[in-house]
Amino acid sequence: MESNGKDGKNGLEGDSDLNFLLNGGDLIKVRSKSWQKSRFIKLMEDCRSIGYPSKKIFKQEKTFLLDDIDSVRPGRQSDGLIKYTDSSEEEKCFSIIFKKKEKNLDFIASSKEEAQQWVTSLEKVVNKMRNLSQKQRSEHWIIEAMRKADKNRDNKMSLKELKVFLKQLNIEVADIYAEELFRKSDKSNSGTLEDTEIKEFYDLLTYREEIDVIYKKYAKTDGEMSTTNLLEFLLNEQREQATMESALKLIEKYEVDETAKQEKHMTKDGFLMYLQHEEGSIFNPAHSSVYQDMSQPLNHYFISSSHNTYLMEDQLKGPSSTEAYIKALMKSCRCVELDCWDGANGEPVIYHGYTLTSKVPFKDVIKAIKDFAFKKSEYPVIVSLENHCTVEQQKLMAHYLISILGDDLVTKPLGNTMPTNFPSPEELKGKFLIKGKRLNKLDAMFSDNNTDEEEMVSEEDEAEDCKEKDQKAKPKKAKIKLAKELSDIVIYCKSVHFSGFEHSRDNQTFYEMSSFKESKAFNLSETSATAFIHHNIDKLSRIYPAGTRTDSSNYNPVPMWNVGCQFVALNFQTPSKEMHINQGRFVQNGFCGYVLKPEFQRSLSSQFDPNSLTNGPWLQKKILHVMVISAQQLPKLKKDKQNSIVDPLVKVEIFGVPADNDSKETHYIKNNGFNPIWNVRFQFAIHVPELALVRFMLEDYDSTSQNDFIGQYCLPLTSVQNGYRHVPLLTKRGDIIPSAELFVHTMLLDCL
């Protein structure tokens, strides 16, 4: 509805980039070599969606929301453009990449300048949408629902339209309540709401009693919060180390009323603005940038890791794609896996061996990794090679790695002497490490006798697993011939077979690392946890999902982190609880893909065993109090069904050492996804807070079948802020749900 003065331009009025998009233009849409057609593309008047006409008869104009755009990529940086366009058109190409599973949109503009204009303009409006405050997002969401409800487009709202609107908002109310809201707002008694009456109605609808109660308790200065009142709130409720100066900064930053700001007061609107921004978030904003010591040896960190990174779907017949690598790297994944096989025309390819998954050229994957490795994090990327190629194609692999990655590839140890420990993430910033087989020991590089000990090496453990599934009888460990050129660029991550912790301690050097199938790793974590932790204090371990997970499902990564494993590799392409936990583990430390392990997992004297807790520095008993208060603007799950309203409930889950694992849930609220209120208190006993994660999960209650997923958010317990906090909600794929949030009160207290 235009009448409330909202046009969606978000402060870009008169902007040349915005006007360019509103005017639109012709682009060539690329689907294949033969399907390349002209389409007129423009930003719609709502400034929230892009539209282009469908050529099919009776089909409406197609649109997609700016909110659904993940990124805009200049040049030929998508699978489609690489395959179906000529390199001479590089500068005229660009792609729109979506957050969900929709296919990318690939375009060719008429000139390099026009392509740049599209990319710049789209990036500007997408970033503007992304940076809206929670209040602005909320208003956008509500205004959009108003527009849909205003069927006759008269910018007025009748009672009938109001009822439709409330259902759009995911709220089922009794007719009497809708009529009461309508009557209160219709000051002119005209039978419709318009102009200021719509604002009145909006304020009534979005009134939050729970905020009112909290605000009134501390607004002791002429009905408003003075700087002293706000400081009292920050100290008493939020348990922050606040000062008068920091309280005043919050007023300057968030107060919307100029008079109140001059008086150094915070009104209720300003207070809500503060609560809905990062200072009022459950996640400690100090942890949203790199705050940990990054100068420790590489093996002292948990490292975000992907399994079979090339796959977009399942392990048997799904597509392999450079896109899968880009998506993983843009989620700060720092260890990617390449299954390398001989391809046609002498060119190595990547796909899942012994299956029908499609093939992607090795060279294209290395280019994509080079282009996207450090866009989200500057810390090192480990390229894990599963090598099944003949020597000739291995030489080509080495050539591509060296020529494409250039000086960023680590081809010799740092320093001039034989290392005795790993370099740190800080020292390896912007660098690539190759994980794979090596023919000789690393110290051969520092002696005159740089001869290879053997030409043959055993095949990777993962390849063995594939064969075991494929062949009934367990074969003898296969050997493959290894090219010296490929062997020589394996420096800090030499793959070796695991024969037991004692054997590793006595026979292997720090840079020799093993991969463990999940069943083997879980068994070791239960039977030899302390030995596993000690192994990981000076060596690296990589865990990977069992070959039987053909649907690309994931195992629970937490028990692997509990024993200090660094590379806990998951199927990044699969939206799952396990990936939510992984995102929760790495959301801290600037989401850089590296998280420093607790000190008790780095010290050789440590006797920590997650399965049977003894006294030690790890044991810091706490009680976590959580009050689930309310939620706001939850998404409709069945958008096509007008009458489908969610019945939300909240689960609070703790993941950590076995003694800390716990889950509690609220009752469900019938027919209200707009502003459900629970006011339910839980408490959790925590023994090892440094390894604990907290997950808030919202579900739509169903008495006859499994509850449907609404949204979730996971974070480390050490990043939780005390007090009244808003919790952002993410989709199954880990993207933010723009308008929705949960409101809670948390308190982490020492056990007496």
Phi, psi of 20 (to 5 degrees): -60, -45
16 and 108 belong to one structural domain: yes
445 pLDDT tier (thresholds 50, 70, 90) = confident
Q: What is the pLDDT of residue 57?
A: 54
Q: Report whether pLDDT(199) > 80.
A: no
Query: What is the 3-state composition of the chain as percent helix, strand, coil, each rounded to the nearest 5?
Result: 35, 25, 40
Say what angle helices 362-372 and 322-329 make with each other, to 10 degrees.
Answer: 20
Distance of alpha carbon 610 from alpha carbon 380, whole angstroms: 29
Q: What is the pLDDT of residue 89?
A: 94
Q: Which residue, 78, 83, 64, 35, is CA-closest to 122?
A: 64
Both structure tokens of 339: 């299954």
140 and 127 belong to one structural domain: no
The answer to whether residue 242 sits within a structural domain is yes
The answer to whether residue 314 sits within a structural domain is yes
In this structure, what CATH number is given to the domain that contains residue 73? 2.30.29.30
The answer to whether residue 585 sits within a structural domain is yes
What's at 282, amino acid-wise?
I
Q: What is the pLDDT of residue 133?
A: 67
**Percent of the chain predicted with pLDDT > 70:** 91
Q: What is the pLDDT of residue 466?
A: 52
Q: Which residue, 178, 209, 181, 171, is CA-closest to 672?
A: 171
The answer to whether 288 and 590 have CB atoms below 8 angstroms apart is: yes
**For residues 301 and 454, which has the higher predicted lDDT (pLDDT)?**
301
The answer to whether residue 292 sits within a structural domain is no
Tokens 């992984």, located at residue: 582
321 and 437 belong to one structural domain: yes
97 and 150 belong to one structural domain: no
Q: Report whether pLDDT(10) > 60.
A: no
Phi, psi of 512 (to 5 degrees): -90, 115
Its domain, for residue 437, covers 298-442+455-601
545 and 573 belong to one structural domain: yes
427 and 491 belong to one structural domain: yes
Query: What average pLDDT does the segment 52-70 reach?
Result: 73
Query: What average pLDDT does the segment 521-543 reach?
Result: 96
The answer to whether residue 613 sits within a structural domain is no
Q: Which of 46-60, 323-337, 651-665 has the lowest mean pLDDT?
A: 46-60
671 pLDDT tier (thresholds 50, 70, 90) = confident
In this structure, what CATH number is given to the domain that contains residue 631? 2.60.40.150
93 and 152 belong to one structural domain: no
Q: Report whether pLDDT(594) > 90.
A: yes
Q: What is the pLDDT of residue 474?
A: 45
Q: 179-201 burial, b for 16+ CB within 10 Å, e for fewer?
A: eebbeebbeeeeebbbeebbebb
Q: What is the pLDDT of residue 640?
A: 53
pLDDT in tens, 391-422: 999 999 999 999 999 999 999 999 889 999 99
How do 69-74 and 93-98 pair as beta strands?
antiparallel
Q: Report whether pLDDT(3) > 50.
A: no
* Domain edge (last residue) among 99, 131, 163: 131
Q: What is the pLDDT of residue 476?
A: 55
pLDDT in tens, 316-350: 888 889 999 999 999 999 999 999 999 988 999 99
DSSP reduced 3-state for 3: helix
Q: Which residue, 556, 551, 603, is CA-closest to 578?
A: 556
Q: Report whether pLDDT(237) > 50.
A: yes
690 and 733 belong to one structural domain: yes
Q: Which of 447-461, 546-560, 692-706 has the lowest mean pLDDT?
A: 447-461
In this structure, what CATH number is given to the domain that contains residue 196? 1.10.238.10
pLDDT in tens, 124-161: 999 888 777 667 777 777 777 777 777 777 778 888 88
* Domain edge (last residue) among 131, 162, 197: 131
103 pLDDT tier (thresholds 50, 70, 90) = confident
Query: What average pLDDT does the segment 244-257 reach?
Result: 94
The number of folded domains in the chain is: 5
The answer to whether residue 255 sits within a structural domain is yes
Query: What average pLDDT does the segment 11-38 reach?
Result: 88
In this structure, what CATH number is given to the domain that contains residue 332? 3.20.20.190
Catalytically active residues, by annotation: 307, 352
Mark out the alpha helices in 539-686 (DSSP H runs): 558-562, 577-586
Sequence-distant (≥ 6) Cβ neighbours of residue 194 within 8 angstroms: 3, 155, 156, 157
633 and 552 belong to one structural domain: no
The answer to whether residue 612 sits within a structural domain is no
Distance of alpha carbon 665 from alpha carbon 697, whole angstroms: 9
pTM of the prediction?
A: 0.88
What's at 679, amino acid-wise?
N
Q: What is the mean pLDDT of the chain?
A: 89
Both structure tokens of 691: 């390894």
**For residues 170 and 230, which has the higher predicted lDDT (pLDDT)?**
230
The answer to whether residue 286 sits within a structural domain is no
Query: What average pLDDT does the segment 214-225 reach?
Result: 95
Q: What is the pLDDT of residue 4?
A: 38
256 and 269 belong to one structural domain: yes
Q: Report whether pLDDT(725) > 80.
A: yes
122 and 148 belong to one structural domain: no
DSSP reduced 3-state for 402: helix
The answer to whether 365 and 322 have CB atoms below 8 angstroms apart is: yes
Both structure tokens of 469: 């599934």
173 and 31 belong to one structural domain: no
The answer to whether 447 and 356 have CB atoms below 8 angstroms apart is: no
pLDDT in tens, 481-495: 999 999 999 999 999
Q: What is the pLDDT of residue 179?
A: 84
